[in-house]
Amino acid sequence: MMILEKRQQPSPIWSLATPVLAVILTMICGGLLFATLGKNPFETIRTIFLDPLFSEFAWYYRPQLLIKGAPLVLIAIGLSFGFRAGIWNIGAEGQYIVGAICGAAVGLAFYPANSALIFPLMVMAGALGGLLWAMIPGILRVKFGTNEILVSLMLVYVAEQLLASMALGALRNPEGMGFPGSRNLSQYPSAANLELIAGSGMHWGVVAAFVAVIFAYITLSRHVFGFQVRLSGQSPRAARFAGVNPGLLVLICMGISGALAGLAGLFEVAGPAGQISIDFNVGYGFTAIIVAFLGRLHPVGILLAGGLMALTYIGGEIAQSNLGLPGAAIQLLQGMLLFFLLAVDVLTHYRVRFGKVGVA
Amino acid sequence: MTMKSVLAGATLALGLSTGAFAQDTTKVGFIYVGPVGDGGWSYEHNQGRLALEEHFGDAVETVFVESVPEGADAERVLTQMALQGADLIFTTSFGYMDPTLNVAAKFPDVKFEHATGFKRADNLSTYSARFYEGRAVQGHIAGQMTESNIVGYIGSFPIPEVIRGINSAYIHAKAVNPDVEFKVVWAYTWFDPAKEAEAATVLIEQGADVILQHTDSTAPQAAAQAAGNVITFGQASDMAAFAPLPRVSSIIDNWSPYYIARTQAVIDGTWTSTDTWDGIGPGMVKIGEISDAVPADVKASAEALRDAIASGEYHPFTGPLNKQDGSVWLADGETADDGTLAGMNFYVEGLSGVIPQ
């Protein structure tokens, strides 16, 4: 008989080992899935996880990993603060959209002027837009005790409608022959978020993601705010006795995650995506939730998890194109990753014992 | 011999063998905005790809990636295909326009074909189908079949292609039924079964007994079937599973002949950058079989309309036609030019509602 016994403290060894275990289990079950689809499982797993890094065209894929991973890491870092403190911002996708709209609007307002000040202004507008959008669920929770999970999630759909309206109306390219979508910011030098070194994939968003990782690491491990965040998550009552203002903490955590999501949106719209279009958002805000948990809400973990997620996207595309794997199989693989992570998480909090029940 | 040189030798051999392979076969890539199982738009493009494989056999190798978001991801997938040796790449959604243009500039030796766009380059062609010709036949049937005189229309995005379809369907419904009224719902998606079903249900609740859709899934068909007494038309694909009711006919995108011709041109070395816009006549647009649920006389006149459009005898946008605000668009007997149609951003007179701005 197998029984689960709750650990008094989460096991530090298992909390490091479970993400790795989850990846291995995903590879095994993914391999079985691919085998039933009639593909060589080893070749497929190799294509997804190794080809982007080591194949003939890795010189192209490696920089793409940075481009794909940066928004995930940036958003996930922001979310990790709130998630640690028990504040659940599920609407990063909406904050990402609003950040992109605000940042792009500032850039487009100056078109076609040339100035080195335009891009920094756009960055500020992007962060501010995301922050303000996140303040809505934040303030509603603090003032009226609403559930921030629901409000932030619903605001994603509002943001999507706003995006459509902007792409068709206020921000539409006047030279676009009636088609929706803004001017291409990446073709407007003062507003473009281009690669800092050609072919490296490093744009300002990637830089910001790395800075955010370092900043979060220091804050969480060395600063009193990080202590308050962790304490609030583990024991809200104790946190209150320790002088933490819970309302303020909600606003700060929502603000950080909103601002970082907004920044991610701005860097994306000014760089890789180039323009505000009706379906500009592709789910980074939701995938970042997986990344945050896969990285155990730890900054370095999130960095690695963001890289891994980017790897499955890019490797997944290679597998589709080269091996004829269906797109849904890749999504299944990504879903499995979160599933196994949550499933093996039980080992962190519980000890598995073999023996008779009730013997004590 | 070190491990490294063994590996280097193996890589070289592999490189040579793939090089030789590439000379024999032409590699054609496709990227789709939806899953190939959408039953509509992406499904039909994929049928075109399969037709290519069947037609050329071993001479052509095809690859595809489905559900590619329009934007940075599309650019990466296209670059990847070009790097992997594709000779010709079809990008099958409007939103792939700028990504295709960017990648085409980086790979001058690879030919690109972008569906429904307007930006071209020396190695980038555009192609589209005159779906509005099919919409005319659809409107003709819808106008006569409706009893509530309310026709529901699920629009995807308010872009010229979709607006053309609404105008064309309305003009021809109105011609046979002066009391007909169109209600348009914008779904802001090409493929989202849940949203499409919701849009169809809303329209049916508002009294529509005919649902026209410019979205790609069969969800509106299923919603109409559930509601009963509502007819629909297959979109992009025949959607024959819903015939004879609710689906009474369909507009089918038939890309196979175009894909085969363009691939042949690449093989022959005669490929040049062009802009193709074909309709019922050349067979790029097909009208799916009109089911028995439609009275014989309506069916006959619909088929006559189809044939008149195919032969070029009749243009679906023939004056007198006014714009929604009452201003004159086309004088009596005048037909619309392709330029106006390509950028169409206005409703014709009689349609209510505004195009979202």
Residue A350 belongs to what H/E stretch?
A: strand A350-354
CA–CA min distance A38, chain B (Å)? 17
CA–CA min distance A320, chain B (Å)? 6
Kindly state the average pLDDT of the residues A56-66.
Answer: 90
Examine the domain organization and report whether B102 and B53 are in the same domain. yes
ipTM summary value? 0.82
pLDDT at B164 over 80: yes
Instruction: Collapse the DSSP code of A326 into the 3-class scheme (helix H, G, I; strand E, B; otherwise coil) and give the result.
Output: coil
Examine the domain organization and report whether B103 and B62 are in the same domain. yes
- Distance, in Å, from the CA atom of A66 to the CA atom of A47, rounded to the nearest integer, reads 18
Mutate to test the interface with B, among A171, A179, A286 (most CBs of B within 10 A): A179
pLDDT at A256 over 90: yes
CA–CA min distance B148, chain A (Å)? 31
Q: What are A199's two structure tokens?
A: 């072919």
Identify the pLDDT of residue A178.
Answer: 67
Domain end marker among B103, B129, B155 = B129
Report how many domains make up chain B. 2
Is the Cβ pair B95, A277 closer than 8 Å?
Answer: yes
DSSP tag of A111: T
Kindly state the average pLDDT of the residues B127-147.
Answer: 95
- Say yes or no: A247 contacts chain B, CB-CB below 8 A: no
Identify the pLDDT of residue B327.
Answer: 94
Examine the domain organization and report whether B48 and B173 are in the same domain. no
Identify the pLDDT of residue B18.
Answer: 43
Radius of gyration of chain B (CA): 22
Identify the pLDDT of residue A296.
Answer: 86
Mutate to test the interface with A, among B50, B65, B162 (most CBs of A within 10 A): B65
Question: Interior CA angle at B250 toward B65 and B62, to 5°?
Answer: 20
Is the Cβ pair A164, B73 closer than 8 Å?
Answer: no
Pick from A322, A326, A328: CB nearest B84 = A322
- Which residues in chain B are contacts of A193 at CB distance < 8 A? none
Identify the pLDDT of residue B306.
Answer: 95
Q: Kindly indicate the confidence band of residue A55, based on its pLDDT and cuts at 50, 70 and 90.
A: confident
pLDDT, tens digit, 9 for 90 and up, residues B83-103? 999 999 999 998 899 899 999
Examine the domain organization and report whether B122 and B177 are in the same domain. no
pLDDT at B8 over 90: no
Q: Kindly indicate the confidence band of residue B165, based on its pLDDT and cuts at 50, 70 and 90.
A: very high
Residue A352 belongs to what H/E stretch?
A: strand A350-354
- Distance, in Å, from the CA atom of B104 to the CA atom of B121, rounded to the nearest integer, reads 8
pLDDT at A200 over 90: no
> Which position has the higher pLDDT, A351 or A248?
A248
pLDDT, tens digit, 9 for 90 and up, residues B299-323? 999 999 999 999 999 999 998 999 9
Examine the domain organization and report whether B42 and B179 are in the same domain. no
- Say yes or no: A51 contacts chain B, CB-CB below 8 A: no
Pick from A57, A282, A324: CB nearest B73 = A282
What percent of chain A lies above the pLDDT cut of 90? Answer: 57
Examine the domain organization and report whether B248 and B160 are in the same domain. yes
Is the Cβ pair B35, A67 closer than 8 Å?
Answer: no
Mutate to test the interface with B, among A320, A322, A330, A334 (most CBs of B within 10 A): A320
Kindly state the average pLDDT of the residues B277-281.
Answer: 92
- Distance, in Å, from the CA atom of A157 to the CA atom of A93, rounded to the nearest integer, reads 9
> Which position has the higher pLDDT, A262 or A198?
A262
Q: Is residue B4 part of a domain?
A: no
- Distance, in Å, from the CA atom of B65 to the CA atom of A163, rounded to the nearest integer, reads 26
CA–CA min distance A273, chain B (Å)? 5
Examine the domain organization and report whether B144 and B202 are in the same domain. yes
Residues 6+ apart with CB under 8 A from A345: A18
- Say yes or no: A168 contacts chain B, CB-CB below 8 A: yes
Is the Cβ pair A177, B66 closer than 8 Å?
Answer: no
Identify the pLDDT of residue A356.
Answer: 62
Q: Is residue B316 part of a domain?
A: yes
Residue with tokens 């900043």: A215
Q: Is residue B1 part of a domain?
A: no
- Which residues in chain B are contacts of A180 at CB distance < 8 A? 157-159
Options 3.30.530, 2.40.10, 1.10.3470, 3.40.50; which CATH number does A38-325 get? 1.10.3470
Mean pLDDT of chain A: 90
Span of A74-78, A308-312, B20-24, B45-49 with lowest mean pLDDT: B20-24
CB pairs under 8 A between A and B: 98
| Most confident segment among A135-139, A160-164, A270-274, A277-281 | A135-139
Identify the pLDDT of residue B20.
Answer: 40
Identify the pLDDT of residue B10.
Answer: 42
Pick from A64, A168, A275: CB nearest B357 = A168
Identify the pLDDT of residue B188.
Answer: 82
Kindly state the average pLDDT of the residues A190-209.
Answer: 88
Closest residue on chain A to B80 (Cα): A318
pLDDT at B14 over 60: no
Pick from B15, B70, B356: CB nearest A277 = B70
Mutate to test the interface with A, among B18, B64, B73 (most CBs of A within 10 A): B73
Examine the domain organization and report whether B198 and B209 are in the same domain. yes
pLDDT at B5 over 90: no
Q: Is residue B305 part of a domain?
A: yes
Examine the domain organization and report whether B205 and B311 are in the same domain. yes
What percent of chain B lies above the pLDDT cut of 70? Answer: 93
Identify the pLDDT of residue B294.
Answer: 94
pLDDT at B251 over 50: yes
- Which residues in chain A are contacts of B216 at CB distance < 8 A? none
Q: Is residue B210 part of a domain?
A: yes
Closest CA to B131 of B316, B318, B336: B316
Q: Kindly indicate the confidence band of residue A35, based on its pLDDT and cuts at 50, 70 and 90.
A: very high
CA–CA min distance B16, chain A (Å)? 13
Q: Which domain holds residue B289?
A: 132-252+285-342
- Distance, in Å, from the CA atom of A134 to the CA atom of A257, rounded to the nearest integer, reads 8
Using the Cα atoms of residue B312, residue B318, residue B323 and residue B324 in order, give the sign of their dihedral: negative
Mutate to test the interface with A, among B7, B62, B76 (most CBs of A within 10 A): B76
pLDDT at A62 over 50: yes
Burial label for A227, CB within 10 Å (0-12, 13-18, 19+), is middle
Helices (H) and strands (E) in chain A, counts: 15, 2
- Say yes or no: A326 contacts chain B, CB-CB below 8 A: yes
**DSSP result, A73-101:** HHHHHHHHHHHHTT-----HHHHHHHHHH
pLDDT, tens digit, 9 for 90 and up, residues A266-321? 999 998 888 898 888 889 999 999 899 888 899 999 999 999 999 999 999 999 98
Q: Is residue B349 part of a domain?
A: no
Instruction: Collapse the DSSP code of A6 into the 3-class scheme (helix H, G, I; strand E, B; otherwise coil) and give the result.
Output: strand
CA A332 to chain centre: 18
Identify the pLDDT of residue B356.
Answer: 80
Is the Cβ pair A282, B188 closer than 8 Å?
Answer: no
CA–CA min distance A274, chain B (Å)? 8
pLDDT at A357 over 60: no
Kindly state the average pLDDT of the residues A231-245.
Answer: 86
CA–CA min distance B202, chain A (Å)? 18
Examine the domain organization and report whether B311 and B207 are in the same domain. yes
- Say yes or no: B53 contacts chain A, CB-CB below 8 A: no
Domain boundaries, chain A: 38-325
- Say yes or no: A273 contacts chain B, CB-CB below 8 A: yes
Is the Cβ pair A178, B343 closer than 8 Å?
Answer: yes
- Distance, in Å, from the CA atom of A40 to the CA atom of A56, rounded to the nearest integer, reads 20
Pick from A57, A282, A326: CB nearest B71 = A282
Mean pLDDT of chain B: 89
- Distance, in Å, from the CA atom of B194 to the CA atom of B198, rounded to the nearest integer, reads 6
CA–CA min distance B299, chain A (Å)? 35
Q: Are B123 and B87 contacting, i.e. CB atoms less than 8 angstroms apart? A: no
- Which residues in chain A are contacts of B79 at CB distance < 8 A? 60
- Say yes or no: B188 contacts chain A, CB-CB below 8 A: yes
- Distance, in Å, from the CA atom of A142 to the CA atom of A85, rounded to the nearest integer, reads 14
Q: Is residue B263 part of a domain?
A: no
Q: Is residue B13 part of a domain?
A: no
Mutate to test the interface with A, among B28, B94, B98, B190 (most CBs of A within 10 A): B98
Domain of residue B108, CATH code: 3.40.50.2300
Scan residues 232-251 of B and list those with Cβ closer than 8 Å to A.
none
pLDDT at A233 over 90: no
Q: Do strands B328-330 and B210-213 pair parallel, antiparallel, or not at all (unpaired)? A: unpaired
Examine the domain organization and report whether B118 and B164 are in the same domain. no
Examine the domain organization and report whether B125 and B141 are in the same domain. no
| Residues facing B128 on adjacent strands | B277
Q: Tell me the C-alpha to C-alpha distance, in Å, between residue A326 and each of A131, A164, A330, B49, B82.
A: 38, 29, 7, 15, 20
- Which residues in chain B are contacts of A179 at CB distance < 8 A? 94, 118, 159-160
Identify the pLDDT of residue B15.
Answer: 41
Q: What is the pTM of this model?
A: 0.83
pLDDT at B268 over 90: yes
Identify the pLDDT of residue A179.
Answer: 74
pLDDT at B7 over 70: no
Instruction: Collapse the DSSP code of A2 into the 3-class scheme (helix H, G, I; strand E, B; otherwise coil) and give the result.
Output: strand
